Structures are given as structure tokens and as C-alpha cells.
Structure 1
């Protein structure tokens, strides 16, 4: 191995040698090291040194060694890149190992070849591994695996895909007790928990946690706007930052331009082409809905250094090794410290090279977020991720998988399942319920043969009894659930389908009529017709498009970043920010000063609240700084509790910084707010939260995903998928049947828990309530909206007015507020009146038309609390 490093002029890092030694001892572990410092070679070369034997001369007659190493990656782009990286040193080392790729993009010929003989090392995804576990010869195929590497473990740890990995590892350990498992990550805030989850079932003496402390220069800066309003709202800078971005891209070097949503990426890509048409072919667009061939073309040209810039989303923010990338632009706040670090690591992706990320703010408060994120990175405050606990839909799917992959005996499989961290507390009753569910569909579906998916044979081994059910299960393996999608294809003159462009969600196409135009893949397209889940399109010109909006746009601010924002505001108010280290300060200071003058600033020891009476009603603005999802639950809960005491109807609007309660009648906020905040009633918190929302609809939507994972709903065969309406109707039917005839169904309880945990972030909500109850209330009566409350006013108005009317209303409000605030001390920080109209117009196009997630404005009337179907001790 030293010769390999010498040939490249490298020297192994200490952490790489530590990993090699641990693998040689047969230990498993978690490697946490800075992006671009050699984590891949630490694990891969360790495996080669442990298991591979160099040959004097290559032999074409003798087959390569059997499958020895499984390399799991969370994304297909990362899988393809990893495969190339693993193949690179084999010839130099004189090894006859083979490396191959298996993902959803793998062609049928390659899959057939792998059916006959698997490579020595297989790079794959959690879904493809679970599909391999359904094969009847899974034991014979996988029992020789000596080592599993889970790349980008942080990306899997906190979701059901990670639970799938836990169950798969538990299965492999039964077949290979000496199996080594290694996780790789660069952005984990809770390493002990991450290691416990990954290495559950591995004895303590065979575990090791390796920290890769290597020198790596990280530059985090901000692309400053010419002006920044003292009254920000979502997207008010928007595409007014386009000239600055174009100027940065014109300086040369390859740049990744990250957006938080696919629709924003589409808008920015088109705007860049409009601004610099001569860059056609030099800039590209990359997101998960584009056709595979398009994505692969972008990745290849990015790796070859042929592109000036790529506008992308999270589809490229994992550990892909694009050496030509010199810089990353993050448009909008990353909303989390780990995400910013992850995206920064896409630049300078090699030992000794600097990584640079530049935040491009889309509103003034994101200037504060940029400063806060920089301080949080320096302090090492990275978000923690927690593994889901006992998702029974994943377990039900796994039972059918194992029944297909050779069958199981319940007693032995229970011990195996409990060795996975997520199911360490699985009770005997829950286990029996899952067995009954796959055997006969529980107590309500016993009359339907389609739900007899695994039954015991004469020897007591549980197997899948029907070949049709087996095919359906193999087509449904996985936990990623999204709305039904439609292929987008060009309409040919012959009336047949042309080239594929990618896919969009069915719900978006359903809102369009033939002749409507939309932006997709950087092209202005006209819808021709919809047929057999395919949207046929042709090129369009000169007509204003709409932009597809995919699910997954919600991205709440993390606790770590929120706390850093509060600290940054306080530091700016107290004059503790060093101007030499904070170039954003001249743009931030007028906003901070005006907020302090008209009201106050939030602190770690006070809860800032503001009241205002307007023609809309009686407003309360509250600033917990807990993120959008928590604020939605908190606002609904406070409206619910206030509604029990005050004869008024409440509406709620939220953003990442705070929430607005709008009452239809006067409310004594100083009297009632401390009471409803202090009224923890922890045993009733879950019931109050669910009762305060449209809990039935939220639970039904979550149940739809659970039903698909658990195998209740089949999405259709290739070429004949079921429509979203059919899937929705099927899941609604199951939901109502279970509620009426099987109220103890554990999947119903799971749906409610997931609403609490994932939709409303209930653990964080409970912690926020406890924190707020301990703070001193700092309530201010306002004459007009403040810099912090104005964005919430805009959120509320978004739900009432069209984009054009909203832009006019905001422009008038801004003019009045700026007049009341008076001139700013210094021209650099002000937004001239002539620039205000442009900013509002850009916001109407960019920030408002494509805001991540709903504002949360929902009327609240007092109702009787509805009890959950089962007590929820989670809070």
C-alpha cells in the first residue's frame, strides 16, 4: 500500500493507519473525518490489506474471489463515483478483485451478469441490498461477505432507510458472525449514538470510534447584496442577487450553485442562461427528477472540468469526488450547520486543498444566519441525528423480505431483529402483531388472500406462499415514499413519445391544461397531452411559465443554528461583533438597531413577544427561534389552548424565527400567554397537539406512506402504475376500516406518532415548551410591524392575496414603514425607494412563488380534544 501512496506523492494520515490496524484486528467502527481527507481509502485499502492476496501474474481462467465487501451509499450519483474510486487502485496493486455497481439505474444486462456471479466488491444502495435479501439463494450469495461499509452514515441514521440498513446488517451478522461493519461520515454531532446504532449487535471489545483530525482549510463567507432592507421577507433579495452570482461565476473555476429546492434550481438555472446566453453548454442543471442520462452527463463533465457551474440540489451534496470544483455557492440559508459543512466539502475535495462555501442571502435575516453559521462551525456545534424507534411498517416489510429470502423461524428471527438498535425494545405483543399482520392482514383482512403474505409451512418455516405476491413485494421493497410521478417526454411529429426529460409529480401535471407552459430541466415546455402516466411536451417560447414544485421543500432551521442566530443578534446589539471578521455587519446593524428601538431583541433568557392591533385583527408575534415545523405545532397548540379560555377565533402563520397568532377579538396577551405556555400537562400534550390540528388529515397522509411500506398498497406494475388518486383512495379505505373495526391497529398509532415526531418535531416541541415556560416574558405593544414581525405579516397575507396584489400591498407597507423608520445612518445599508419595487417584484417571482413549505395559516376554533388511538408516552 505504501508503494501506491508513494506513486501518488501521498502520505497516509494517522486516522487511515488507525482504521487499517482496526480492520486487521477484525474490529468494526465509525470513522468521522473531514470531507476530502481520504475516508474512502481508509476503509477500502484496509479491506484490501485484510482480504486480498496479490498474484504474481493475472489469471483469466480463475474467477475473481466471491463477494467479500458490500459498500452501501445513500444516493446513486455517489454510488457511481464510489465505484470508480474503488476500481482505481486494483490494477496497480496487482489484485484480481472485481468491483461493480448495483442500483436502480443498473441496466438489465449488468443485472443478469450479477445474477450469475457477483463481483468481489459491490457498491449498492439500501434498497438494492434489501432486494438481494429477497432472493431464495440470499444465504449462499451473501454469507461470504466479510465487511460492510456504510458511506455517509449521517444521511441514513435518522430515517427509515437507515432502519432498513440496521435490519440488513442484523441478517448478515447471522450468516457471518465475524462480519465487520464500518461507517463513514464527516458531519455528525452525536458520535456515540451514531456508533451505537450502526454497530448494534457488535461486542464492545470489537468496536472502535476513529476521529480523523486532519488540517483542512474551510472558508465560509457571504456574497453581500448592494442593499438590504430593514424589513425583510422571504425571498425579497431573490434574483436581485443574480448579477453578483454571475460576476462570481465569471471569475473562472468550477462552481456548484446549491439551491434548497428543485423548483428554485430550475428558476436560477434559467435566470443564469438568460443573463449569459453564451454560457450555454458551460453551465448545467442537476436534480433528482432529471433523466438518468442527463444526470450522468452532468456528473461526467463536472468531473472532467468541462463545466463552469452546475446549479444543483441535494442530489450532489454527498461525498461525490469532483476534484475540479473550487467553490460552492449556497443560495439561501442552509438551515443547518451540518448541511453547510456537507456542501462546503464538495469543493477542494482532496487532502491539502481548501474548501470554500459562499452564502448568497435571499433576505436580510439570512445575512444574520450566515454569520451565525460561521460562528457555529468554529464552535463545532453540529446537529445531532436520532434513529427512528420501532417503525413497524419497516419491520412488516422486512418479515416478508426474509420469508422470500429462504424463510424464517419466528423465535430465531425475533432475536435477530432485536439486535438492531431500532427494535431493541420490541415487545412480544408487538412482534406477535407483526406476525399476524403478514400472515393474515391482522383482525380485519383475514378474508383476503392478498394479505396472506407469509405463512408457516409444515416444518414451521415461514415463507411467501404465492409467486404473484413475491413479485409484488420485490417491486415494492424500500422506504422512500413520494407522490406518484409522471415521465416527461417530447412529443414527436409521428405522435409518439420522443426523448425522456425526467419526471415530475403527478399532482403538478394534473393542474395544467394542454397549452400551458412550465419550466423543467432548464427548458420552457408546453404541455401537449397526458397519456398513460406520461406528460408529452414540446418546446415553447415567449410565454410565462409555471415551475414544478416537488415535495420535500420543507427545511426547518436546526436548533444549533437557531441558537447561534439569537447569539449573533445579541452580539450585534451589544457591539461585540468584530467588523474585520463580520463584513455583513453594515447590512445587519440597521435592522438590529431598528428592532431594538421599536421593540427588543430575543435573548437566551427572555421570550420576546409583540402585540399589534391592525385592520386584520389583534396580532401576537412570538419568537421562540425553534424552526418552522415546531412553530406550526406550537402556534396551533397555543391557539387551541387559548380557544378554551378566550371566545375568539385564531389564525396562525409561521416562519423559522417565530409565529403569529391573529385573533378576531381583543386578547389580554399579558394575562393568558404565560398561562398557556406554563400549562405543560405533559400527559395531554400529544392529545392537545393532535386536537389542535387537522389531525385526521395529517395522520391519513402519514398512514398512506406507512401503508405503502407495510405492503398494504401496491403501486402497480411497470408501464401500468396506479394513479395517485387510486393510491389515495386505497389508503383512505384501509385507514377508515382500521379506525372503525381495528382501533388497536399498531399502524394507526405509528401514523400519529410520526405526525408528532416528523411533521411537528414533537420532541423538540416539548423541549421548546419547557424552555419557553422558564423564560421571562418580554411583551411589547407595537404601533407598526418591526423587522422581525414584518416577515410573519407577509406570510399571513400570502394566503389571502394573489401574487400581484400581494406585491402591491407589500410595496405600500414597506414605503410606510421606511418612512416611519427614517433615513438610515449610511447609504450602504439602505434600500432606496426605486430599488424597493424591483425587490418586491423579484420576491413575487422567486421568494413567494416558490416558498419552502406552507405558511401554516389555518383557522382555529375551539373543539373538544380527540384522544389518540393509543397512549403516546413519547412526550
Structure 2
């Protein structure tokens, strides 16, 4: 246990802080005191409130008391960040007091962007404070001499812990921390987090079960947050998703001109590409002062944009969540969010990019992409004022991560399997890992398990005569180090000009649909594909006048959070306060009330409507898109079984629809049977292509667990090769090793990640207790129209669907005006 010092900083450090920041806040003093007492904890405060200094100055103060000031210091602190982009900014923040005080103590970063030369220098000597990522930390743990080089380590800091929590990267970090704590039992661990609703669980995952004395320190002041919404001049009473689209670009451009620097957030990379083009077209005089930032752009381009934000040379950056986190862009004075944020914490996180200092107000301007999103922005404001912040639920026992990490540990040093099990049980993720599962894992890494024991490449570890597990095959070790990490996605296809200049990456599934000579939009440029060969696409700037297809990426659409869904339902029925957004959509709500009722959470509203296409049931649980997808699939399968007709389904964040040519009715018994929790799992899995879903999910698990050979330099494997390899393994396990725990994990992940099983089951249980309000409507209501429009668009050619949509819209608007 370190010597306990007063929580007052040493005079030179205290003087520096007073000069730079004034008086320390209470939570900062508490963090310095707790660190001096040898304690660990979680620091929870809004963005810009000084969490970094709360975590950093305690270890620095202790080192200034313990170490000589005239020579380099050993490595005392590891600072783990979820994004490489944060490393440079963090390095600058940590180095500032060191440089001011003239201490010869080095601060350095080791991430995937670090050059080979710099990595080699770090192998020779670690700095006083090392900034790294979960993946790079795991890679260093695999080095046999890493423990010796860390001999002076006293503290680990986890930055932006809420971004890691609830993901496999978070579990990878939990396991790495368990290894460090086993090496250094007195190690202190501090996590930094903002906008998080489950602080106790977050602290448990951070500290494991060996730190019951851990503390949670929260800034007592709620950061002022102003949420304004840009209200369209003309609001149609029958909106559907994306209908407003970029029609709001003109008003947005005018707001950009009123600010010095603007961050314009979108929810997907494709939307970022589109809005960049629109803003550039609306503000041609700002050419060169408008930029784009998302994770698929080339690293040098992203760094150039980040530098432009910091020095104030950029007026507007259109971006995705790649700029959500704590990089300090002090000049940013306006944040714009295009489309619903889908979550209260997400909106607050993005708003915090402005007013990035204690006491300053953060502001965000919401831009709806369809009219009902006005209510979502108003509800997000309600939720923030009521402090209803979403939780990030920690993962439970992802065995693919444990397989990878066990081999990583064995690369660093041979180990006793019983001691490894005890180490892993100190984490929250694996605290109840049973001996049977552990014995399966040991057998899997030493023999390949029952199905793969005849193949030497799957026998990676072995148990020696000393009883220890060893991993000493040089070739297998090299491949394993290349495979460390839990981030999986479609293979990234590099886009290059013929000159060799890289533009960034797109997914193989997108570029494989583009033929040579076709034009597409990426990084704000019109590009023409020259050739696509060996996972590299050569392009050239297009001189063609027509606009090409905007690059698209799979995923990226966030479902409505439970907290925001509840806030929307409350605002529809019992608004906590007047709001301009509510007044703007009142005509929509009035028509909904006249023709039906307003859906909410006090009762389940079900509408029955006939159209040219058939009979429709519109059901509004207000549980978010992913849950509604599961509910719609379940209900459609049960209904189809009962009436003997095929049933089409669509869903959005508010509800879902079922459509059949005939056979639907407003029978309460029918609705209750469709949404019954009884036989839920069996009916749901039989309704879906669960085998194919498990096969796809297993591909990710197989990559994390090291069952698929990683890409080698210059020999990248195609997505098809990966599919074939993982499918073959899936079939082998299914046929010859059906009790393989990785198969079981694939099924569990389908339920939780793709179907939100826990939330889906809770929703059905809740619906069973809610009264039904059944109503037959003469025409589509404003709440039903978006579901009908999506169903129509999915089944008709684009031109026919547009014609039918416009005709229906005109008819409904006329009838609404007359009723």
C-alpha cells in the first residue's frame, strides 16, 4: 500500500493547476485523496469538467513525492483509450504539467498508428506514462518481458469507459486488467465516464471483485445543456422516415454561417457523405473550410480535419460518431445533430463537444429527417432534464474473447490452469465461470476440441510435464498476435488513386456491386472505379456530370433506446412542459386523435385498416426497432400458421405492421395469441432462419477465437474465403461437436445482440398486462402511414412505389383537411 499523503497537491503542481484551472473541484480533490490512499474508482462527470486531471494528477503528485526530479522515471501509469484518435490529444494533456515543471519524464503513445521504429524504441524502454488501446495492451501482454518492464506500475486509467462497457472490447479490457492486478496486487484502477446510467455495474466491470473498496466520484453540477430543434416551415401530416431528407440543408447552412465552428453529426457514414455534398453546394464560398470525418476515411485525412478543428481553420465538419469522444476541440461553438439521436446519452455526448469547459453551456441543434423526429428531440430534452440516462450493460462470458486472451497470456509466460481460472474469475464478465466450461476451453486450445483434434493447426497450446500450459510455437504465435482484437466487420477495401494515394476504405459488399467505369461518391468526391483486384480498388476522379451512388456501409442504424421511447410516450400523452416541437407537430397528432387514438405505454393500440394491397394490423408497443423486428417476426409466423396466408411485416421505432391479402381481424383473442410470451423462444427461433443467423454470428466468434487464419501482409483473404472457412467450421461443429460452447455462444449472441432478447421478453410480459385499444380505421393514420410506406417500398419498384406513395399522400391530406 502506498504512503498516504494529504489530498493537497505538492506546491509546484498545485501552483500549476491554480494558474491553468483555478480552484480544483470537489470530485477532483476526492480523486487525488482516494488515489493517495491506494484506492480505485470511477470518475463520472460531464464532458469538459476535468476528469482527465482528476485521474492524472494523483499519480503524478505521488511520483513527484517518490521519485527524483533530475532523471527519467520508470513506467508508473498506463492510460487506456478506446480510440487511437484520442491518443494524441491525451498525450498533449498529460504532458502539459510535466513540461511546465521541467520534469525529464516521458509521456508516449503506443497504438496501431505507432510507427515500427517507435514501437521498437518502446520495447527498449517504457515511458513514465504510456497511452495505449485495449488491443495494443493485449499485444504487449503477449510479450514475455512486459511484466518486468512494468515493474514500477502503480496506476491504470481507463478513458471513456462507457464506450468500452457492453462490448467485447470492454471484456478484453477487463481481462487485461485482471492480468495486471495479478502481477501487481496493489495496482490502482481508475475509470473516466460521462453520460452513463448504470454506474454501479460500470464500476464492477472496471474494478473486478478484488476491489470492493472502490469509489464512485460524480461531479455535483449538472452541465447546462440547451437542445434546440430546427423546425421545418412546412410539415406534412403524414410523414415517413427520411422524407425531409436534405431539404433542411438550406436552413442548416444559414445556421453554420452564424457560428465560428460547427460539428454537424449524422448517424451513418452514408448520411455524412450526403450532407457534406449538400452543405458544400449550399455554401460554395466556404470551399476548403468545410470537411468530413468518419472512420472509413484515410488516417492522414482524419488527422488533417482534427488539426483544422483545433486551430479554427475549419468552419464546419460533417461527421459521425468518430468525433463523439473526448478530443478537445475548444473552438467548436455549435453542434448540429441530423436525425434523431435515438438515445438521450448520445445526444448529450455530442452536445458536449461544444462548451467544452466547466461552467460553459453546451448547445445542440436538432435537425429532423421526418416530422415525428421533432417529438423525439423534445422527448430527449425531457429525458435529459429528468436524468434518465441509458445504461451500458456489461457482457457475460463471451468465450471467444477468453480463448483469445488465454492464448495471449500464455504467449507472455507459461501458466498454471488453476491459477488462470482464478485470475479470470476476478473479472465481472467471468466471475461465475464454472470448472466444466474452463476445462472445455483448456481442451479446445490444446487439442482443438472433439471435432478438430485431428488437425495440428488447432492445437495451439500444450500442457507440459511441469503442469503448466505453454504456447511456444513460433509460427502460431506470430499469427495469433496478428489476430488480437475483437473488432470484426466486412473486409475493408482500400481505395487508391493510380498514384498510390489512399482515400480510405469501403466495405467489400459495396464496392463489389460497382462495375469499372461506374461513378460513386466517397470522401466528398465523385470517383470512377478503374479496377477492383485483390481487395484493393483503384479509382480516379470522375469528370462525368451525373452524380454517382453514395458509398454505403452495413450497420450503423441505432435503435431507439428504452429511455427515449418512454420519454416519447410520455410527451405524446402527458407532456411535462410546453415545447415548440410539440406545437409544430400538433396537426399530425390532431389527425391521429380524430381518426384513431394516440399510441402510448398505458395501453396497446392496434389499428385495422384495408388498402388496395390487403388488410393491415398496425401495432404500437413503443419498444424500439430491434424489439419490434423480433415481435413482428414472431407475430407474422404465428398469424401465418393460423390463417394459412403469407404475412408481410415492417417495423420502425414506434411499432410494426402485419399485412395479408385476407384473414386479419381486430379480435382481442387473436392479438393476445400473437403477442403471448408462451413458447416464445421456440416460436421465435422457428420463425427465423436461426441456423443461417447462427452461421453468420459464428463467423465473428470464429475470428475472435483465432479459428480463422488472419490476413497476412500482401495476402489478404476475401470475404468469400472467410465465409467458406467459418461455414465449414460451423458445419463440422454442428455435426461432430454439437456441445461446443462457441456454438452455444453464437445462439446467445443472436438472441441478445440481434433480437435484444431480454428487452423483447420484458416487452411481451409488459404487453400481456396492458389493456388493448382496438380500432378499425377507414384510412391510414399518421402513425400507420410510415409503416405502410416502408412496406410498399419494399415490394414495388422504386418508380411505382413513389407514384403510389404520392397518390396516397395527396388523398390522405385532402381527407384530413375535410375531416
Residue of structure 1 aligned with 2:621, choices 621, 624, 649: 624
- Say if 1:486 and 1:435 are closer, same or farther in 2 by CA, change over 3 A: same
1:47 counterpart residue number: 59
Q: Which structure 1 segments of 5+ residues have no match?
A: 493-497, 825-875
Say which SS state the counterpart of residue 420 (structure 1) adopts: coil
1:729 counterpart residue number: 724
Shift of 1:53: 4.2
Range moving further from structure 2, 449-458 or 803-812: 803-812
1:14 counterpart residue number: 26
1:563 counterpart residue number: 566
Shift of 1:361: 0.5
Q: Which structure 2 segments of 5+ residues have no match?
A: 1-12
TM-score (norm 2): 0.96
C-alpha distance in 1 between matches for 2:120 and 2:320 = 33
- Say if 1:757 and 1:215 are closer, same or farther in 2 by CA, change over 3 A: closer
How many residues matched? 806
Residue of structure 1 aligned with 2:261, choices 254, 265, 274: 254
Contact 1:408 1:462 in 2 (8 A): yes
Residue of structure 2 aligned with 1:105, choices 110, 113, 131: 113
C-alpha distance in 2 between matches for 1:141 and 1:4 = 31
Shift of 1:282: 0.5
For the pair 1:811 / 2:806, whether they are aligned, the reply is yes
The 5-angstrom pairing of residues 423-822 of structure 1 reads 423-492=430-499, 498-541=500-543, 542-571=545-574, 577-578=577-578, 582-677=579-674, 679-681=676-678, 684-822=679-817
2:183 counterpart residue number: 175
Range moving further from structure 2, 207-216 or 363-372: 207-216
C-alpha distance in 2 between matches for 1:132 and 1:52 = 27
Contact 2:519 2:547 in 1 (8 A): yes
Shift of 1:616: 1.6
2:3 counterpart residue number: none
C-alpha distance in 1 between matches for 2:39 and 2:67 = 26
Contact 1:144 1:176 in 2 (8 A): no
C-alpha distance in 1 between matches for 2:73 and 2:465 = 38
Contact 1:74 1:125 in 2 (8 A): yes
1:90 counterpart residue number: 98
Which structure has more relative contact order (CA 8 Å, sep 6+)? It is: 1
C-alpha distance in 2 between matches for 1:588 and 1:673 = 33
TM-score (norm 1): 0.90
Deviations 1:293-321 (A, max 9, x none): 00001111101111101100010001111
Say which SS state the counterpart of residue 357 (structure 1) adopts: strand
C-alpha distance in 1 between matches for 2:600 and 2:269 = 35
C-alpha distance in 1 between matches for 2:256 and 2:649 = 41
Shift of 1:820: 0.9
Say which SS state the counterpart of residue 44 (structure 1) adopts: helix
2:49 counterpart residue number: 37
C-alpha distance in 2 between matches for 1:823 and 1:196 = 60
Deviations 1:790-828 (A, max 9, x none): 11011112212333333222211111110111179xxxx
Residue of structure 2 aligned with 1:219, choices 222, 226, 229: 226
Shift of 1:118: 1.2
Say which SS state the counterpart of residue 123 (structure 1) adopts: strand
Residue of structure 2 aligned with 1:398, choices 384, 402, 405: 405
C-alpha distance in 2 between matches for 1:193 and 1:693 = 33
Shift of 1:577: 4.3
2:292 counterpart residue number: 285
Deviations 1:828-861 (A, max 9, x none): xxxxxxxxxxxxxxxxxxxxxxxxxxxxxxxxxx
Shift of 1:413: 0.3
Shift of 1:6: 2.4
Deviations 1:7-46 (A, max 9, x none): 2252111110010000010100011111111000100111
C-alpha distance in 1 between matches for 2:208 and 2:556 = 33
Contact 2:495 2:539 in 1 (8 A): yes
C-alpha distance in 2 between matches for 1:747 and 1:23 = 40
Shift of 1:584: 1.7
Deviations 1:217-254 (A, max 9, x none): 21111011111111110111111100011000011311
Deviations 1:664-695 (A, max 9, x none): 322233144343256322xx422222111111
Contact 1:612 1:620 in 2 (8 A): yes
2:6 counterpart residue number: none
Shift of 1:755: 0.4
Shift of 1:55: 8.1
Contact 1:54 1:93 in 2 (8 A): no
Deviations 1:694-728 (A, max 9, x none): 11121111100000001111232022111000000
1:864 counterpart residue number: none
C-alpha distance in 2 between matches for 1:667 and 1:678 = 15
Task: Give the aligned CA root-mean-square deviation in angstroms.
Answer: 1.5
Range moving further from structure 2, 229-238 or 583-592: 583-592
C-alpha distance in 2 between matches for 1:604 and 1:303 = 45
Contact 1:680 1:770 in 2 (8 A): yes
C-alpha distance in 2 between matches for 1:617 and 1:275 = 43
